[in-house]
Amino acid sequence: MQWRFAIKYLTSRKSHSVINVIATVSLLAVVVPVAAMVILLSVFNGFESLVRDLYKVVDADIEISVRDGFGGVDEALRQRVDAAKGVEATSLITERQALFSYHDNRVAVRLRGVDENYNKVVPIEEFTSQGVAMVQSGNEDRLMLGEEVAYRLGLYSMTMGNIEVYSLGGGHIGSILPTVAMHSEKLPICGTFLIDRQHAASFAITSLRAANRIFGVESGGDILLVKVADGVSHPKVADRLQEALGDGYKVTLREEKNESFYAIMRYEKWAIFFVSLLVLVVASLSIIGTVIMLVIEKQEERTTLLSIGADNNFIRGIFVREGLLIAGIGGAIGLVIGVAITLAQQHFGFVKMPNGNFLIENYPVELQATDLLVIFVVFVAVALVVSVVATSAMIKSKKR
C-alpha cells in the first residue's frame, strides 16, 4: 500500500514547478557518481587483469624450489611432478644475477636459463619484439634480451656482435683477487622481448646449458616451473605437490609470489571506491531536499490519511519509499550508463592510452558482477538512510 502511494505521489503532477526541478536535479546527482563508480572499478579490474596476464609471461602457474639455497632441482624431481594429477607441463630453469658487457656499456640483469619446454609453460614467444625466441640451436647458446637492456647496452641490431656475460661461477672467492671466482662467456643475441618496463630493463633469457656453465651449476637447476592443466584449481595442485614433495621443497603459486603487488592493487581499487562512495553520499543529500519539498507539497493528503486512521509511521513509510524511488531510478540509470560506457570501451576502445606509456593501445576495462552488486547494495543503503533521516525529521516537526 505504501509503495502505491509513493509511486502515485512521485508520478503525479506537482503544484509547484520548483519541486519537479529539484526532483530532476536529485535524480541526475545520483546518476553521475553511480556511473563513475562502475567505470572506475572496471578500469582497475582491467589493469589488474592486464598485470596478471603480463606476469604469466614471466612467472609460471606454480614454482618449485629447494626451501634453503640454490640448486637441488633435478630430473628425478621433474619426473615426479610430471606424473602428478593436474600438471600439464614443466620446465627446469636456473635464474640468478649476471652482468652484461658490450663495448663500454654495463648492465646488471636477472639471467634466466631455460630448457626446451619453457615456451610450453611460459608463452614468451607472444611477447617477442625482434628476432626469435630460440635460445638454443644445436650446440650454439644464445641470448634473448629485454628491449631496455638491449638499448642500454647500445645494441640496435641482432647482428652487432656478442655480449660478454659475467657471473660468480660458484667457486671460492679469494680475499685478494675475488675475480678468480667470476666466470665470463660471450653469447650472441637471438632476439628481444617486451613485457613491461621492469622486465624489459632487467631481464634476459638464455639456454639452461649456458646458464649452468655461467653460474657454475653442475646439473639440474634452481627452479621447476609448472603449468597447470586448464580447468584445474591451481591451489589444489599446489597443495597436492607440497604434500607429495615434503617440507624440503617450497611450492609457490604465481599469486603468492606477487602477493604484495596484488594486495596494493586491491587496496587502491577499494580506496577509489570509498572516495567515489563519499561523492555518492554527498550527492544523495539532495534527496533530502526533494523529500522535504514533497512532504510539504502533500500536506493535504497527509491530513486526509490521518483522518481515516493512518498514523505517522505509515505516512513516514510512504515518503521513505518515495526517496528510495528517486534514488533507485537515478541509480538504475547510472548503472546502465556505467555498464554501457564500459562495454563500449571494452569492444571499441575509444579511450586511448597515452602514446608510448604502456604496452596496449586502449584503456583496459573489465566488468565484474560482484562490483555491480556491491555498488547496488551500498547505494540502496545510502538512499535508505538519507530518506529515513529526511522523513523522520520532517514528519516529527509537523506533528508538534
Backbone torsions φ then ψ of 194, nearest 5 degrees: -135, 105
pLDDT, one tens digit per residue, over 219-270 is 889 999 999 999 999 999 999 999 999 888 999 998 888 777 778 888 888 8
Lowest mean pLDDT among 35-44, 131-140, 163-172, 266-275: 163-172
pLDDT, one tens digit per residue, over 40-77 is 999 988 888 887 777 777 788 999 998 877 778 888 89
Closest C-alpha to 217, from 377, 92, 80: 92
Contact 206, 186 (CB under 8 A): no
pLDDT, one tens digit per residue, over 280-304 is 888 777 777 777 777 777 667 667 7
Range with top average pLDDT, 39-48, 58-67, 86-95, 158-167: 86-95
Closest C-alpha to 378, from 266, 285, 290, 274: 274
Q: Which helix (H) or strand (E) is 288 found in, with range?
A: helix 286-297
Q: Specify the DSSP class assigned to residue 125.
A: G
Q: Report the chain's mean pLDDT, rounded to a whole number.
A: 82
pLDDT, one tens digit per residue, over 125-156 is 888 888 888 898 888 999 999 888 988 998 87
The angle subtended at Cα 273 by Cα 268 and Cα 276, nearest 5°, is 125
Grid cell in block for residue 334: 547510472
3-state secondary structure of 332: helix
CA dihedral in degrees (382, 384, 390, 391; nearest 10)? 180
Task: Label residue 175 by pLDDT band (50, 70, 90).
Answer: very low
pLDDT at 398: 43
Q: Ramachandran region of residue 231, left (φ > 0), alpha (ψ -120 to 50) or beta?
A: left
Query: Does residue 394 carry a pLDDT above 70?
Result: no
Contact 319, 395 (CB under 8 A): yes
Q: Specify the DSSP class assigned to residue 179.
A: G
